[in-house]
Structure 1
Amino acid sequence: MSTKSAEQLADQTLLEVLDIATAMSSASDLRTLLHLILGKCRQLTNSDAGSIFLVEPHDPRKQPEGQDQLWFAVSQNATIEARRAGDDSDGAMEAQVLNIRFPLSPERLVGWSALSGEVLNIPDAYQLDPALPYRFDRGMDQKLDYRAVSMLTVPMRSTSGEIVGVVQLINRKHDAATLITPETAHVQTRPFDAFDQTLIEALASQAAVCVERTRLLQSQEQLIDAIIA
C-alpha cells in the first residue's frame, strides 16, 4: 500500500469516527445506538458479523443469590441477512435471539472478556487451545449454517472503569461484499490486526459511556414516573 493510500485510509477512518461520535450524541434509544455502533465497527474493520452484549447486574433485593447476566442486545450478520432477504420469518427469529440472556461466566468468550477486561483477538475460533479457560460455542454456527473464523472480542469499559458490555466482531473479510460460506470461510477471511483492535477498543469505550448515560436517563425517568404516580 502506498503512503498516499495509507493517508487516505487514515483520513477516512477519522471521518467515520467523528460521524460515530456525532450520531451517538443524537441517538434516541439504546437499541438504535447499539445498532449504529455495531454497524460502524463492522464497516471500519470489514467484519461480516458482530454482536453487542450488555452486562445486566442482578438485583440483590429481588434475587439475593442471583448472578449477573449478559444480554444479547444487538446482532448483525451480512451473510445471513443476504441469505434471508425477503423471508418474513427472519424478523421473528431475530426477536427471539435478541431476548437471550445467560449467566455472566468465564467459560464463554464474551463472558471472559467482560469479567477479565481483556481483549480476545482470535485468528480461528475453532482452533482454540483446549487448555484455555474459555471456549467457543459452535451451536450458533451449526444452527445458521455459518462458520466463524477470526473473532475480536472487546470489553466496553466506562470512564469509571466499569465494564458494561462487550463488542464482538466476527470474520474480518478481504472483500466487504463477499458472503461467507462454511466451505470457503478460511479463504474469505483474515485475522483482525493491531489497528483494528486499537480502533474497536476506542469505539467500545465511547459506546460504554453512551450506555451509561442512556441507562442513567432511563433510571431518572422511571424515578420521576414513580414520584408522579
Structure 2
Amino acid sequence: MAPSDIKQSNINMPQHIKDKTNLRHLVDISIRLTTEKDSSKLLNEILQVLMSVANADAGSIYSITDNKQLKFETVINKTLGLHLRGDEDSPIDFPNIDLFINGKENETAIVAHAVNSGKYINIPDVYAALPFDMSAARNMDSLTGYRTKSMLTIPLKDHVDDIIGVIQLINVKGENDEIIPFSEELVTLTRSFASLGAISLTNSTLIKGMEELFTTFAETIAMAIDEKSPHTGGHCKRVPALTLMLADAVHDSNKGPLASFTMSEADRHELDVAGWLHDCGKIATPDHIMEKSTKLETIFDRIKYIDAKFEVIKRDLNISYQQEIISALKQNKPIEVKQLERLLDTELKQLSLDRALLKRINVGGEFLGGNELNEIQRIANKYTLEINGKTMPLLNDDEVENLSIRRGTLTQGERDIMKRHMDVTKNILDALPFPKHLSNVKEYALGHHEKLDGTGYPRGLTKDQMSIPARLMAITDIFEALSAVDRPYKKAKPVSECLNILGVMVNNNHLDADIFAVFIESEVYKKYIIEFANPEQLDEVDLNNLPGYSPIV
C-alpha cells in the first residue's frame, strides 16, 4: 500500500471499522519500514506514511547532528508542490536549527523545544497567542504565501530513549479539506506510527553502525599489523584494493567460463572485508621471523657476529705468523721469513674471500646453488677460534642451516611458523559471529593460500571446494607479494617476471586459469602497479609465450 492510499478515516465510520483499518495500515507500514535499508529513503518513507495517516498537508523530518543542530532531511508541502529529500535531485538548502544558543535552549524554534523537552507539541493555530515563539513559521509563510495553522511536532526516540530526530506535521485536513486541529485521538495514532518509524530508523542506524564498526575493526587489525610490520601492514591494505579491482574485472567480463559471475555491492563489501582480514593471524607471528630480511637475522643480523669472529681469526693468524717470522729472523733464516710472509698473505686473502662470500650469501635470493652450499660447509669445517681458552667453530650448526637456505631468508622451521598465521587467522575468524550478509568472509579470507590441486593450506581444499572469490584472492595475494616495493628481504620484481611466476603456478594447477586470463586481458595488473607500486616495473609482457595463459573465447 502506497502512502497516498492511506487516508484519514471518515469521522462517521464505526469505531471497530476504524480500528481495523488502522491496524491494517499499521501492519502494512511495519512491513514497508522494516524492509527499507537506506536511511535517507527511510526518513522520506516515514514522513510520507505519517502525513498519510494524519491526512496532513505538509511536514518535515529532521535528524540531530553531532554538533547539536537539527538538520532538514525531508520536506513535503502538497499545496506548494514541494518535495525535498536532501539528495542531489532535490537538495535542501535550509539552514540547520541550533538546539542551544549561547549555552541556553533555543526558544525560537518549536522543533528545538520538542527535542529539549522530549515531549510532543500540539498547536491548533500557530497564529494564536502561544507560549512559544512562532515567528519563524510566520516569516516562512510570508515568503511562500502559505498559511500554517495546525502543527504537531513529535520527537523520535530510540531504544535507549535518546532523541534521534523530529517529525513535524502541518495543517491536518478534515472531511471537506478544511484545516482542523490535531485531535487527541489523531495525536495518539500519529505518535504510535511515529514510534514505529523511530524503531525502523534506529534499526537502520544500528545496522549501519555495526557495519561501520566491523569494517573499521578489520581495518584496525591491519593498522595494528602495520605497527608491528610496516610491509605486512601495507600488504593487508593493498590486497583488498587489488582483489576488488580483479573482482570487478571478472564481473564485467562477458565471455568465457566466468561470464555469468556477478557481484552486487553487498558482495563487494563482503569480499573487501575478507581482504582486510585475510592475514589477520600475522599479528601473532614473531617479529624476528616476519621482519627477517637476511638469512642470519634474528633480533639482530648475526652476520655482524660472524664478521667479528673473522676479525678474531685474522688477528690470531697475524699473531701466529708474526711469532714464527720473529723466530726465523732470530735464527737468521731470511728465506723462511719470505715463505711465512707469503703464506700469511695467502691465508688472509682466502679469509677475506670467504668472509665476503658469507656476506653475499646472507642477503638471500631466488636460489642457492650446490657449489655455494659446499663452500659454506668448507668454511664451517676450516675455521676455528679461541675465546677465553675455549676453541669454537666460526659457524655453529644453526648458522650453517640459515646460510644454507636455498630460497629467500627463512628456514623450513621458520616457514612453518609463518604458515601458522593461517591457523591463527582461522581461529580469529571462527570466533567472530559473522552476520548472514558476511557469512562468506571466512571462506574467502582463508582461501588465499589454498591450491587447486589440494596441496595448499590451511585446509587443503581443491578447486571444486573453493568459490570464485576465494580463488581470485589467491592470485591477488601472490601478485601483491611479488610486485611489492616495501619488502625488506627482496627487491620488487618487474611485471613480466611476476606474471611468469603466476603462469607457472597456473600450469602446476595451483591457480585458476580462467581468473588469470581475466587478470591479463583486463590489464588490472597495470592499473594496480601504477596506483600502488612503481610504474617502472611495467616492462614488456610477451603474451604469446606467457605460461598458463590462454585467450578468453
Once the two structures are superposed, the pairs formed by residues 72-221 of structure 1 within 5 Å of their partners are 72-81=72-81, 94-97=90-93, 100-105=95-100, 106-107=106-107, 108-129=109-130, 132-137=131-136, 138-175=138-175, 178=177, 188-221=178-211
Q: Work out the CA distance in 1 between the residues paired with 2:18 and 2:32.
A: 21
Q: Work out the CA distance in 2 between the residues paired with 1:8 and 1:213.
A: 32
Deviation at 1:112, TM superposition (A): 0.3
Aligned-partner residue type, residue 119 of structure 2: E
Quickly say closer, same or farther: Cα 1:12–1:120, change in 2 above 3 A.
same
Quickly say closer, same or farther: Cα 1:164–1:136, change in 2 above 3 A.
farther
Deviations, residues 15-65 of structure 1 (Å, cap 9, x unaligned): 11111111111002112111211111111111101111111233xxxxxxx
Alpha carbons 1:173, 1:190 under 8 Å: kept:
yes
Higher Rg: 2
Alpha carbons 1:112, 1:134 under 8 Å: kept:
no
Quickly say closer, same or farther: Cα 1:32–1:163, change in 2 above 3 A.
same
Alpha carbons 2:111, 2:168 under 8 Å: kept:
yes
Aligned-partner residue type, residue 196 of structure 1: L
Structure 1 gap segments, 5+ residues each: 59-67, 86-90, 179-187
Deviation at 1:95, TM superposition (A): 0.9
Alpha carbons 2:72, 2:92 under 8 Å: kept:
no
Q: Work out the CA distance in 2 between the residues paired with 1:215 and 1:92.
A: 22
The answer to whether the aligner puts 1:40 opposite 2:49 as a matched pair is yes
TM-score, L = length of structure 2 = 0.34
Deviations, residues 143-195 of structure 1 (Å, cap 9, x unaligned): 2221110001111122311111111100011248x5xxxxxxxxx20000011
Alpha carbons 2:56, 2:169 under 8 Å: kept:
yes
Deviation at 1:93, TM superposition (A): 9.1
Q: Work out the CA distance in 1 between the residues paired with 2:156 and 2:133.
A: 19
Quickly say closer, same or farther: Cα 1:77–1:93, change in 2 above 3 A.
farther
CA RMSD of aligned residues (A): 2.5
Alpha carbons 2:110, 2:132 under 8 Å: kept:
no
Q: Of 1, 5, 20, which residue of structure 2 is paired with 1:11?
A: 20
Quickly say closer, same or farther: Cα 1:115–1:74, change in 2 above 3 A.
same
How many residues end up aligned between the 2 structures? 199
Deviations, residues 84-118 of structure 1 (Å, cap 9, x unaligned): 79xxxxx9894134x64221143210000011011
Aligned-partner residue type, residue 120 of structure 2: V
Alpha carbons 2:61, 2:74 under 8 Å: kept:
yes
Quickly say closer, same or farther: Cα 1:140–1:109, change in 2 above 3 A.
same
Q: Work out the CA distance in 2 between the residues paired with 1:24 and 1:144.
A: 32
Quickly say closer, same or farther: Cα 1:223–1:19, change in 2 above 3 A.
same
Alpha carbons 1:109, 1:136 under 8 Å: kept:
no
Deviation at 1:196, TM superposition (A): 1.2
Alpha carbons 2:159, 2:202 under 8 Å: kept:
no
Structure 2 gap segments, 5+ residues each: 1-10, 101-105, 220-236, 238-553
Alignment partner of 1:71: what SS?
Answer: strand
Quickly say closer, same or farther: Cα 1:128–1:31, change in 2 above 3 A.
farther
More helix by share: 2
Identical-residue share of aligned pairs (%):
29
TM-score, L = length of structure 1 = 0.77
Deviation at 1:211, TM superposition (A): 2.1
Alpha carbons 2:97, 2:112 under 8 Å: kept:
no
Quickly say closer, same or farther: Cα 1:34–1:120, change in 2 above 3 A.
same
More strand by share: 1
Quickly say closer, same or farther: Cα 1:173–1:155, change in 2 above 3 A.
same
Alpha carbons 1:122, 1:152 under 8 Å: kept:
yes
Alignment partner of 2:61: what SS?
Answer: strand
Q: Of 43, 46, 50, which residue of structure 1 is paired with 2:59?
A: 50
Aligned-partner residue type, residue 34 of structure 1: L
Greater RCO, CA 8 A, separation 6+: 1
